A and B are shown apart, each in its own frame.
Chain A
Amino acid sequence: MKLLLVFPLLIPLSTAILCMLTWYNRSLQRSLALLGSGALLVTAIRLLTRVTVHGIQAVQMGAWPAPQGITLVADLFSSVMVLVSAVIGFAVMLYSLAHMDSGRESHGYYPLFNFLMMGVCGSFMTGDLFNMYVWFEVLLTSSFVLIALGGERAQVEGAIKYVTLNLISSALFLAGVGILYGLAGTLNMADLAVKIPQLGKTHLVTACALVFLVAFGIKAAVFPLFFWLPASYHTPPVAVSAIFAGLLTKVGVYALIRVFTLIFVGETSFTHSLILVVSALTMVTGVLGAVAQNEFRRILSFHIISQIGYMIMGLGLYTVAGLAGSIFYIVHHIIVKTNLFLVSGAVERCGGSFELKKLGGIYLKFPLLAALFLIPALSLAGMPPLSGFFAKLSLIQEGLVLKEYLVSGVALVVGFLTLFSMMKIWHEVFWKDAPVGAAPLTARRQESLAGLLFPVALLALLTVYLGVGAEGLFWLSQRAAQQLMHPSEYLAAVLKR
């Protein structure tokens, strides 16, 4: 039982080690990586069922008691996040097997992918702020290499922007951790939640909260700190941008939600109102940025930004229903957005480009691919009965209940603009006639398409399922939000009181 919480870290780690030991045997690496991501998926399901049935689980690494030791905590929010990450990891791994070129494979793609997954799971599971910083570094370092792996010109340019901005964010995060340690003398998050209100230095704590807001805000790509994202996400291979798009910004959102529900809740009228304003601006700038783009993956990148706005809108509202909406939205978004990036890779395989101008006529040749694009695209825009509809509905409903009419209105309008953007892709890529002189489809490309479409179909099915069976996920997000808003169970699990 004690190992169940460590397994989400150990499985990717041991997979990475095994992949490094079989460095010169690519086919063995591929099977090992697939096996590892499958095992992670099974563990994540077991973890979530355990937390749902038995409540919040915590384990002290090395048996050092909290707050001195490092705690791994699994509450509903973090185990839901681990499960979604495992699902995405599995789908992208399936996709990589059919998509990744042999050069990147033999230069350590699979070990790096697994180190990335370990960092992501670690950030979700840890109960200690400094340890969270370490996990951030684990995932960032592997993402730095993944984004530059292959060394194409555009890739290196994107990587430089990505690395620079993320290093600044890490420095701010570390500074914030230092200040907080100086203030409270502890970094265990549960212990901080107890000690911060006793300090009485509300303004100092709020200032520190803003350092964290900026640090995590850069990682989550909120307004006005998002510039690195559209500059870099369209440069690496599709499988890499898909896993980045699905998981990395969401780790930032997770961290924001975690610290702003557990630690920095002293002056919510200021901090959380600020978050609400930022969320509205993020939605608008993201979606307007997307309108101006004409490259498949760049459009999707800008939509990540606008969707991040929705996710932190629930945090800004700071009610159980609002946070439940956020959690629902994160789950929905991770699946849908990864899927759209995977579709863009399949389209590139069929049409030979990511540029909307050079594409066209995919619907006639590949109706199945067109249908598989339409499901996540409509879900992203919030069409019923897909998952995006319920995610947006719950957030906007709660916004109206709290009389936050402006941000709710923005959320509605941005939904329509998203639909417009998706329809632009639909028209340009799938509907209009193929442009003259488009690359003809070779037999080899057609052959490997099935391998690409399988994970895409899997995720599309999941989106439909989350829409039709929204009640189950909604119940789960509601309970997770209750745990976040009333942290007594979390504190009891960590501090054993």
Chain B
Amino acid sequence: MLIVRTVERWLRPILLLVSVYLLSGGHQSPGGGFVGGLVAAVPFALHALVYNAPSARRLLRTDPHFLMALGLFCAMWSGFTGVFLGAPYLTGKWVEWELPLLGHVDMGTPVIFDIGVYFAVMGVTLMIILSLAEEE
């Protein structure tokens, strides 16, 4: 048990980093908000397995509902950027930046949409897992 608990603590930041990496790759390479959100839910699910569901909820610090709502909100508003620029709803708009360290960066409304998907999927997954874990 001690091993699992220790590993769980070290895995947490790694898994979250991997999920962000998957999210950031989503537009030109494999990955995206959906799979990123799934991976982001893993550390909390693991925590619920190792300890218990209430402890995982404390670790999350917020309710899965709010994550879902936040995600849907992001996704919905990403569509309006196009509208403000005179295009139909959900039209993708991109800007390109040259940043220090990161180099060439594409940033656009589909990324915001994907961030929305990320949080929505994370919220749904955690809601299901945590309520199942509390069922016992």
Contacts and interface: CB of A to CB of B under 8 A. Distances in A.
A60 B66 contact: no
Interface string B75-95: 010010011000111111000
A440 B63 CA distance: 43
Interface string B55-88: 0000000010110110011001001001100011
B88 A20 contact: no
Given A10-B76, A13-B72, A17-B72, A63 B66 contact: no
B66 A23 contact: yes
A43 to B, nearest CB: 14
A61 interface: yes
Nearest to A7: B89
Nearest to B76: A13
B87 A63 contact: yes
Given A14-B76, A17-B69, A62-B82, A23 B89 contact: no
A6 interface: yes
A60 B69 contact: no
B1 to A, nearest CB: 35
Contact of A62 (B65, B66, B73, B91): B91
B69 A6 contact: no
Nearest to A63: B91
Contact of B83 (A2, A16, A18, A21): A2
A443 interface: no
Interface residues on A, range: 10 to 19
Contact of A59 (B66, B72, B79, B89): B89
Interface in B89-126: 89-92
B72, B82, B92: most-surrounded residue (chain A CB, <10 A)? B72
B89 A2 contact: yes
B65 to A, nearest CB: 5
B88 A61 contact: yes
Contacts of B92: 62
Nearest to A13: B76
A3 interface: yes
B83 A3 contact: yes
Given A2-B83, A3-B83, A23-B63, A17 B76 contact: yes
A266 B88 CA distance: 34
A63 B85 CA distance: 12
Nearest to A115: B72
B72 A63 contact: no
Given A3-B83, A20-B65, A21-B66, A60 B72 contact: no
Nearest to B89: A6
A10 to B, nearest CB: 7
B132 to A, nearest CB: 15
A20 B88 CA distance: 27
B68 A60 contact: no
B90 A62 contact: yes
B68 A62 contact: no
Contacts of B68: 20
A17 B74 CA distance: 10
B76 A20 contact: no
Contacts of B63: 23
A108 B72 CA distance: 16
Nearest to B71: A17
A23 B87 CA distance: 34
Nearest to B83: A3
B92 to A, nearest CB: 6
A20 B120 CA distance: 12
A26 to B, nearest CB: 14
Nearest to B110: A62
Contacts of B88: 2, 59-63
Contacts of A61: 88-90
Nearest to A60: B88
Contacts of A62: 82, 88-92
Contact of B82 (A17, A18, A63): A63
Contacts of B87: 63
Contacts of B83: 2-3
A449 B51 CA distance: 49
A21 B76 contact: no
A336 B115 CA distance: 44
Contacts of A3: 83, 89
Nearest to A21: B69
13 contacts: A10-B89, A13-B76, A14-B76, A17-B76, A20-B68, A21-B66, A21-B69, A23-B65, A60-B88, A61-B88, A61-B90, A62-B89, A108-B65
Question: What 4 A-B pairs have minimum CB-CB distances, sorted nearest first?
Answer: A20-B69, A62-B90, A63-B91, A6-B89
Given A21-B66, A63-B91, 16 more contacts: A6-B79, A10-B76, A10-B89, A13-B76, A17-B69, A17-B72, A17-B76, A20-B65, A20-B66, A23-B66, A59-B88, A60-B88, A62-B82, A63-B82, A63-B88, A108-B65
